Amino acid sequence: MSSAAELRQRIQSLSDAVARQREILRDLVQQHSVAQGQLNSILDPMTRLPLEISSEILLQSLPKPPTLATLSVFPRVSRAWRAIALATPTLWTTIRDEGIPPSKFPKVLGLWLARGRGFPISLSVRNLSTDTFPTTFAALKHDAQRIETMEWFIGPTLETSQSLDYGFAGLKSFTLGIDDKMIEFSCKWILDMLREIPLLAECHLLYLNFRTGNETEITHLNLRRLRLGEFGPNTGHYLLKHLTLPSLESFSSHIDLDELHTFLQRSPSPLLRSLHIHVRSGAGHLPSMLELVPGLTDLDIELPATRRRAPSFLDTLISNPNLLPALQRLVLEERFNHGADGYDRVLRFLSLRRASIRCFELSGWGNGECSEEFAAALREFQAEGINVNISCA
């Protein structure tokens, strides 16, 4: 019978042998992996293509916009694919926090910024809160000037007094939206942001309500497209009365027309071509307001419902042929029963504007079904290249 000392010695010897065999096995697994990778590289057509072509294949295969889930697939296919993905900086220039835990997003953000290697960045953050704001934007500290497009969709826990001094001087498009309609933003906060981003060309402020105090007027020379979201009775008035936008080309808002009329009088916009407005009140200002934008080519307008008999918007355009002479597209929602002669108005309008109008959409008229004569007349306009779409309430 073996002694305890002999058994301990035998166990140690066996342990040493097991360790050696494990080391041999690890080496064999590694050699197997290398050989498999080499075989994959020989058989994979991607590895035989120039980098410019293989990179473009990866870019074209992505959904738009790309997500973390889709991008993370490429590096896991093979070493060759991983090398191609990491050698394609434009793969990593659209950054979204969708599907990423907020606590991990700053680390992912830093990684993608590094992989983007100096290319312009598009950034979308939908889970911005007071807790994640400092760490998220600290990760942007050295790359803020690379951000050209940025979206913030914030929750109710963000303090709206957070500083915007992050150096986004190269920002060209900015979207700000909220998830809680009870949040109020300081109008000064928005104006200061616009002042700090002189190259900004496009701005979307969605579902915001503003509070006033200590605002100073600003003239923004480059802002061409401005959209003010649906929520907030003070959205348009509080912001527009402090803004001058001489380069404005497109404006969209739910707004009182007297506010818009005042803004256009104070801030002439000779380049304004597109106007999308949901009129809350002040429809009586519409003719005089439209006189301020003679170059308008695209008008999408929803007028408030009214019970009193009043001239339709089409009547206004028919009786004022010099109003909106360049108009090419009109989308009109006017909830009012215009009687049996309503369709005659449509035909008169299209006849007068047939040289310029290319698209006409009408909804909200309670006129019932149209006659065959009216339908035939519309087909004639459509044959001339005018897209006509009419739906009744």
Quick: pLDDT tens for 291-324.
999 999 999 999 877 655 456 788 889 988 889 9
Q: Looking at the predicted structure, is the pLDDT value of residue 201 above 90?
A: yes
**Polymer length in residues for the chain:** 393
Q: Looking at the predicted structure, is the pLDDT value of residue 53 above 50?
A: yes
Q: Which helix (H) or strand (E) holds 253?
A: strand 250-256
Convert 130-176 into a string of H (helix), E (strand) and C (coil): CCHHHHHHHCCCCCHHHEEEEEEEECCCCCCCCCCCCCCCCCCEEEE
Least confident of 93-97, 205-209, 214-218, 301-305: 205-209
Instruction: Output DSSP code: residue 343.
Output: H
pLDDT at 250: 96
Environment class of 349 (CB within 10 Å of its CB; exposed 0-12, middle 13-18, buried 19+): buried
β-pair type (202-206, 298-303)? unpaired
Q: Quick one: angle between helices 79-86 and 4-43, nearest 10? A: 60
Q: Looking at the predicted structure, is the pLDDT value of residue 266 above 70?
A: yes
Token pair 């826990």 is found at 157
Quick: pLDDT tens for 324-358.
999 999 999 887 655 667 778 889 999 999 999 99
**Mean local confidence (pLDDT), 240-265:** 90
Residue whose C-alpha is closest to residue 253's, from 224, 282, 232: 232
pLDDT at 136: 79
Q: Are 109 and 140 in contact (CB under 8 A)?
A: yes
Residue whose C-alpha is closest to residue 300's, from 250, 335, 336, 352: 250
Instruction: Output DSSP code: residue 382.
Output: H
> Rounded to whole angstroms, what are the CA distances from 363 to 8, 303, 335, 393?
92, 11, 8, 7
Q: Looking at the predicted structure, is the pLDDT value of residue 68 above 60?
A: yes
Rounded CA gap, 345 and 147, in Å?
50
Quote the mean pLDDT of the chain: 82
